[in-house]
Amino acid sequence: MSLLRLLTWDWRNLFNPSKNAYQFLILLSIILVSCFFHLWNLDGFPSIYRDEDHYLRKAMFILEGKGLQEGSNDLISIPSNKYDHPYFGQLFLGGVLKLIGYPDILSPKAGDVHSIEMLYLVPRIIMGLLAVVDTFLIYKIGQLRYNKNVGLLSAAIFAVVPITWMLRRVWLEPIQLPFILLSILFAIYLSKQSTKDSFSKYFNQEKLTTSILSGIFLGIAIFTKIPAFLFIPLVAFLIFSMNKHNLKYLGLWFVPVILIPLIWPANALYLGELDEWLDGLTWQSERSNNGALVAFQKLFVIDPIFLVISILSVALAAIRKDLFILLGVLPFIIFCYLIGYVSYWHLIPIIPFLSISISLMIFDLANRFLQTRYNTLFLLILIFSVIIPSCIISTILITSSTTDFHVNVMSAISKEVKNFNLKNNNSTNFGSTDSDQNINNNNKLTVLGTNYWLWIPKYILDTETNMYKNNFIANDIKTNNILLVAGDNFIKTMTRANNTKANVMQLKEIYSESNLISKFEQNTSKSIETNGSFNLDPKGSKKIELRKIY
């Protein structure tokens, strides 16, 4: 079976009744259900998380042709640590957005709520489509590693469980996940090829191609976010276990796994910023929050059914000594417990393995402990006891609206900047890049706020005349006109890079002299972020004030 046939086999079976077309129809139904749960109401659910603005800003930086790496004067969170993640996430997102003509295709308007919604919706559609691709890849992995029934049930579980709403957000994990799965899929395909094929020159070439592709995909995943290296043992095991007498496949696979992520430090070396890269790497490794335990507690709040059954299924996998499941889950969890900084969405890469593990447990229980006469009935009961509650909860979630606060704040900021520009005869035409350096500072505006409020006004809805700063430094404001986007802990957040007494006092003076324009407060009663006793976003601003000095 060739590489192309591997990926298209199920689609061709639709037109061949003798090849189990009904199973293809089941797969097609699962894909359509996945489309519903991962693409429906993306502009309404979930709420917009601040890290989404962070990654979208990086994508716009590339889209504007400004290079791979933001500088200390750009809208980065901490100027002294500008190297936080490798580049593929923003390269992928920026590249796809460029191909579809974003943001010009949307004709966005400053102050228009619908325009702001669309600017977030398009990137989220990309995330949703990736989740649908993940669903199909999970099916293929389950089918090839175990059997078609395991593949179908695994894909169905992944498609409907509430925990996968996290894949709707513009984070790095949803971007890297299909590349992790593709690397695993090609490694499984390599291990499935017959030993007789090794005597064929054609299949030798195909094996070499397959091993290199597997390595490229894992290298890209690591180049998206470093913790993907934790899947090296799993993929290496898959390749080595069926090619023990020919290590060249493992060696060829390993080359792109190492070389592709090295683009990140190589670029820093080229820019003469290797020391800054090392400092950024050290800073990332030394960050701390409540750790993996609280991250799992938050996942339990999001989807208790899936998490409890997952724990049981992994325990059963350990009893079966299923190295595929164990190597897919345990290294990642152990790593999360060892490092100090873990957020709940960092655990996204293990969700496919948990879905497969649950599927295996269901079939194992049905086969081992239930009477043969009623095997099918009990199997259906087990399946629907997971699928139906998950469908109900997921439907309730994805039909809710939780983005109003973020969208309204962003719209108000862009409207205020637009009104200032009109009043001071500054061009506000979308896409204008004309910057007249001779304009008097009285006609310029400085916008102060955290970076996740500023990327749309700066890169999309404003000209390059005004200045946007997310870190305050005393006497660094060169204009007489200031707009403050003041959220919770505004003074502390804006002075975190320079928290001297003089710097803090000057910002406090600016704040006290400013006039209130408008206030916004998030309705947390309907937000997934404040579900139960856990606040999934404790650092996110729930109240915003727009204030001005002009």
Integer CA distances (angstroms), 433 to 117, 286, 461, 466, in order: 24, 40, 11, 11
CA dihedral 456, 460, 466, 468 (to 10 degrees): 30
Q: What are the backbone dihedrals phi and psi of residue 146, each rounded to the nearest 5 degrees, phi first? A: -120, -85
Residues 6+ apart with CB under 8 A from 184: 141, 214, 231, 234, 235, 238, 328
CA distance 177 to 221: 7
Residue type at position 537? D
**Rounded to 5°, angle at Cα 340 from 338 and 54:** 125
- 497 DSSP 8-state letter: T
Q: At how many degrees (to 10) do helices 351-368 and 304-320 cross?
A: 70
pLDDT of residue 5: 55
For each successive 10 residues of the chain (550 residues), what is the average pLDDT? 54 52 88 97 93 92 86 73 89 95 94 95 98 97 94 96 96 97 93 52 72 95 96 94 76 94 93 88 77 90 94 95 96 91 93 97 82 71 89 94 92 93 68 45 86 91 86 84 91 86 90 93 68 56 88
Integer CA distances (angstroms), 313 to 285, 307, 359, in order: 31, 10, 8
Which stretch of DSSP H or E encloses residue 321? none
Q: What are the backbone dihedrals phi and psi of residue 62, each rounded to the nearest 5 degrees, phi first? A: -70, -40
CA distance 86 to 267: 10
* Coil, strand or helix at 66: coil
* Coil, strand or helix at 37: helix
* Coil, strand or helix at 397: helix
CA distance 381 to 387: 10
Residue type at position 385? S
Whether the model pTM is above 0.95: no
3-state SS of 67-121 is CCCCCCCCCCCCHHHCCCCCCHHHHHHHHHHHHCCCCHHHCCCCCCHHHHHHHHH
Give strand pairing partners of 119: none
pLDDT of residue 279: 85
